[in-house]
Chain A
C-alpha cells in the first residue's frame, strides 16, 4: 500500500512537472523508466512468480476518435464521375498506404475556388461513413459529409492544404494535399488501433450508429455482442444474457458502459448488463494494454459499450424507429435527437413491450419484458483547448422469468428436467408478467472535462456515478408475493484523471489514476436472509502505458496497480443472529506487452501477453445461501487469494483486396482460479437435501483459437465467417471447466441485388459440448444445433437528406427445436422458436 501511494504521488508530481514545463520529453522518459522499475519491484516483492514475468508499461489510447492515428488509405480518382463502389474497393487494414500525388495541371487559378470532393468509406467493408467531418486546417473551417459519406469542400485555396477526417468509431486521419485543381478523393478510415483488431467487432457494427447496430435494438445487448469473434452468450432463457469471451464471463469479464465500469450485481449469471443497445453506437472487446486502463474485475479482456462522441459540427437531426417482433408479440420504439453547436446534444429514448415468448411447440409462460430507457449526452466546447461532456442514462426494466424454471429443491429440478413441456405452460399468449420476475433500474451519470494545454498533453478529469436498484420477486406465500425476495441497492462513484502525452509522431504515453467507491445495501422488507451481504468497497488504482506505433513495427506496454478494500457486513447463520464485519484488502497488478509486425500492406502478425491479478469478488468471499436456479447451496470463502492470470496470444492478419483473414490463438493459465467445488456431502434442510458448492481456488488452463474471414467476391456480395474454439481445464479437480462455449461457426452472406436493397442470410452452427464429465451437471449437454436467420431491407431516400428504411427479418427460420449448453434454462425448456421482425426507421 505504501508503495502504491508513493507511486501514485510520484506520478502526480510528474504530471505537475509535465504541465508546468511542457515539452521536456527526455525527463519524462527517464522518469518513466524509474517508475517502471519501482512498479516492478513492488510486484516482485508481492509475489514469487513475478520474477519470471517481464513487465512493461503502455496504453492504446483508443475508445475515442483520436487524431494521432497513422492508418489510412486514400486514392485519387479522376474528376469524371465514378462508381464509388468500384473505385474504392480495397477492404484492407493496411497501416499506411502511400498515395500518389494528383495529376499536375497547369493554369490553376490563383484565387480560392478549388473544390475538394469525395467520399469517406470504412476501410474494412466499404461501408459509407455517414456524417463524417472534414476539417481544413488552412481553410480554418470544417464541413460534414452526408449520410452516404460524400462531401464537397468548396472555396479552397491553391497549394498545400491539410485536412482532418474524423468519424465516430474510427481513428481520425490527417492528410496534406497539394491542391492545384478540383480534386476528388476517396478516403478510407479504419477502426481503432490495429493491435486490437483480432478482437474488434465486425466493422459494420463499429461504424458509428450503424444501421445494423440500430436494427439490433429490440434484441438483448449480448446478441449484438455476439457479432464479435470469440463472443458467446451465457443465457437464462429469454430473461438475461451475459457475454462470454474466450471462455470467461461474469466476474472475469468486466463491462465498460461509456468508459465507466458497469456496477450492479454483475456476479449473477442471470443478471444481464443494464445497458440499452440503442444508446450504444459501438461495442468492442479489448484486451491487453488497452484493457488495463479500465476498472472492474477482469482477467484479461473487457467489453466496451459506448455511445458515439458528440462533435461541435454535429448536424441537427434525428432518427425514429418502430419494430414488431412476432415471437413475444413485442413492440419496440426508439428515438434519437441530436444537434451540434457549442453545446452539442443527443437524446436517446427507447421502450420495449413484449409478452410470452414461444418455443417451437409451446408458449414460455411468464417470459414477457418491459423496458423504458433514456439517455442524454451533452458536450460543451469551451474553446479549442477545453471541452466538457456530460452524460446521464437511465435503464428500467421488468423481466418475467419462465414460471416452470422456478424450483424449490433438487426433486423439483429432477422432475422439471424430465418434463417434455415445462410445468405451468399455458395454452394462450399473455403480456402479463407475474412472479418470478426481476425489476431493475440503473442510473449512470458521468461528467468529464478535457484540457489540452498544448499539443503534447491532454488531461481528462472524470466522475462517474451509478445507482443500481435490483428487486427479484419469487413465487411466495400470501402477502409476501408482493415483496421482493432479493432487494439490493448499489451506489458506485468513480473519480478518474487521465493524462495523454505525445512523445513524438509515433509514440505516446497514457496514464490514469482512479478512485472508486461502492456501497452495496440489502434493502429491508424481503423476509429473507441476504445471499450477498451488505458491503463497502473502495479501490485506488494507477495505470501507465507506453505506445510506439511505427509504420512496420508497433509495440505497446502497460502497467496497472489496484489497491482494493472491502468491508463485508454479514448476518450470522446460526442463532441468535449477529452482525459481523469482515475487512479485506487486496493489492493486485496487471501488466501487458503487445507487439505487431507488418510485413507489407496485406500481412501482419501480432503477439502479446497480459498478466493480471483479479481480487476475489464479494460473492466469492461471502455468498451464503441457496442458489435457486441450480438448486445448490453456494458458500463463499473469506480466505480466497487473488487470481493470477497470464494470457498469451498471437495472431496473423491478412488483408487483401477482396479477402481478409484474421486468425488468433491464445493460452491462458490461471493460478488461484476461483470456482465452485461440489462437496461430497449433501446438506439437509427443511426443503430436502441440497448439494453444497464451496468457492475455492485452484489451477485452471484456458486455450483456444478464433478465425475470422471476410470475403468480397464481387462488389455486390459479402461473405463473412467466424469460428471460435475454446477449451478449459480445471487442473485442481482434473475436470473440464463448466460453461465453456461449445465450438461454434457463424457464416453470413450479404447481397445487394439492386441499389438500396440488401438481402442477407446468417447461419449459426453450434457443436455439442462433449468436454464435460457426467457428474459435473444434472443434465448432459444438449445436442449441437444450427440456425438460419434471413433479412431483407430497403432504403428509400427522401428529399432533404432524409431516409426511410424498411426491414423484414426472420430468426430461426426453420423453427428449429434446440437447447443451448450455455443457456441455464435448458434444464426446463427448449429455446425460443421462429421470430419474424418488421422494422421501419425514419432518419432525418
Chain B
C-alpha cells in the first residue's frame, strides 16, 4: 500500500510540473463585417452654380487604435437646396444595401444644432411608407455655423413621434452617431 501511495504521489508531482499544455494556435482575426467605419454625407446642389459639399467620418481601425478622421470638402451656400445622400461602409464593403434590405428596421436622423439655419426632409420610404433617411433634401437659410449629426438607429420605433431632427422618441440602438461641423456662407 505504502509503495502504491508513493508512486501515485510521485506521478502527481510529475504531472504538476510537466506543464506540457499550451496553446500555440493564433486566434483568427475576425472579418468585422458588421462594423461601420466610414460615413459619407454628400450634398449635391440643385442649383448648378453651387458646389457639391461632402462630409466624411473615417475610423478605419474601429473603436480604439487611431482616432477617427473627419473631413469636409466644398462650401455650403446660403438659401440653397441640396439633394443629400448618406452612405455607410466598412473597409470591405458598402453597408447601404444591407440597410435597404432591412429598411423597416433602420432610420437615419439628422439633428441640427440651434443657430444653424438648415432644415432637412426625408426623400425615401420603406415598404411600410415610413422614412429611411438615406436620401434627404436639405435647405439652407441665411449664413450661419453649427453642426449636423448623422444618427443611424437600428430597430427604432418607426411611426413614433420621432422627427428627422429628433430621434428621442424612436428608441432602438444607435449604430452610427457622428457630428459634422457645418458652415453656411
What is the interface of chain A, defined by CB distance below 8 A to chain B?
A: 5, 8-9, 12, 15-16, 19-20, 385, 404, 406-409, 411-412, 415-416, 423-424, 451, 453, 459, 461, 475-478, 480, 493, 495, 497, 513, 515, 517, 519, 521-522, 524-530, 533-534, 536, 538, 540, 567, 569, 571-575, 577, 579, 624-626, 633, 635, 683-688, 690
Contacts and interface: CB of A to CB of B under 8 A. Distances in A.
Interface size class of B (residues with CB under 8 A): 35 or more
25 contacts: A12-B9, A16-B9, A407-B174, A408-B174, A409-B174, A412-B171, A416-B171, A453-B1, A477-B34, A477-B95, A478-B101, A480-B33, A515-B15, A534-B23, A569-B26, A574-B61, A574-B65, A574-B66, A575-B61, A577-B29, A579-B27, A685-B59, A685-B63, A687-B177, A688-B177
List the 9 closest A-B pairs by CB distance, nearest first.
Answer: A423-B171, A408-B173, A408-B174, A688-B177, A574-B65, A573-B65, A573-B64, A515-B16, A524-B28
Given A686-B37, A686-B176, 19 more contacts: A8-B13, A12-B9, A16-B6, A411-B151, A412-B172, A453-B1, A475-B173, A513-B16, A517-B21, A527-B32, A528-B30, A536-B21, A567-B22, A573-B65, A577-B29, A625-B64, A684-B67, A686-B57, A686-B68
A513 B13 contact: yes
Interface in B27-82: 27-37, 39, 57, 59-68
**Most A C-beta atoms less than 10 A away, residue of B6, B37, B61, B153:** B61
B176 A423 contact: no
**Most A C-beta atoms less than 10 A away, residue of B60, B151, B174:** B174
Contact of B30 (A412, A524, A683): A524
Contacts of A690: 63
A529 to B, nearest CB: 6
Contacts of B21: 493, 517, 519, 536, 538
B29 A571 contact: yes
A530 B32 CA distance: 11
Contacts of B26: 569, 579
Contacts of B173: 406-408, 412, 475
Contacts of A574: 61, 64-66
A519 B39 CA distance: 39
B98 interface: yes
A164 B28 CA distance: 59
Interface of B: 1-2, 5-6, 8-9, 12-13, 15-17, 19, 21-23, 26-37, 39, 57, 59-68, 95, 98-99, 101-102, 151, 153-155, 157, 168, 171-178
B108 to A, nearest CB: 14
Contacts of A683: 63-64
A567 B57 CA distance: 36
A536 B63 contact: no
B177 A633 contact: no
A371 B57 CA distance: 45
Given A415-B168, A529-B62, A575-B65, A475 B155 contact: yes
A78 to B, nearest CB: 48
Contact of A571 (B1, B9, B27, B33): B27
Contact of B23 (A408, A536, A626): A536
Contacts of B30: 524-530
B176 A527 contact: no
Contacts of A478: 98, 101-102
Given A19-B6, A480-B33, A534-B27, A625 B63 contact: yes
A527 B12 contact: no
Given A12-B13, A573-B61, A683-B63, A688 B174 contact: yes
A527 B29 CA distance: 9
A556 B122 CA distance: 75
B101 A687 contact: no
B1 to A, nearest CB: 6
Contacts of A385: 1
**Most A C-beta atoms less than 10 A away, residue of B23, B39, B101:** B23
Contacts of B67: 684
Contacts of A533: 27
A411 B13 contact: no
B104 to A, nearest CB: 13
B176 A687 contact: yes
Contacts of B63: 573, 625-626, 633, 683, 685, 690
Contacts of A412: 171-174
Given A528-B30, A528-B34, A687 B174 contact: yes
Contacts of B37: 686
B23 A528 contact: no
Nearest to A569: B27
B101 A453 contact: no
Nearest to B98: A478
Contact of A409 (B57, B157, B177): B177
Contacts of A573: 61-65
B12 to A, nearest CB: 5
B39 A408 contact: no
B2 A20 contact: yes
Contacts of A687: 174-177
B22 A411 contact: no
A291 B8 CA distance: 26
B13 to A, nearest CB: 5
A498 B61 CA distance: 50
A411 B177 contact: yes
Contacts of B175: 408, 477, 687
Contacts of B9: 12, 15-16, 19, 459, 497
Contact of A624 (B2, B5, B64, B99): B64
Nearest to A413: B174
Contact of B32 (A416, A524, A528): A528
Contacts of A20: 2, 6
B166 to A, nearest CB: 11
Contacts of A493: 21
Contacts of B151: 411
Nearest to B99: A477
Contacts of B16: 8, 495, 513, 515, 540
A476 B99 CA distance: 12
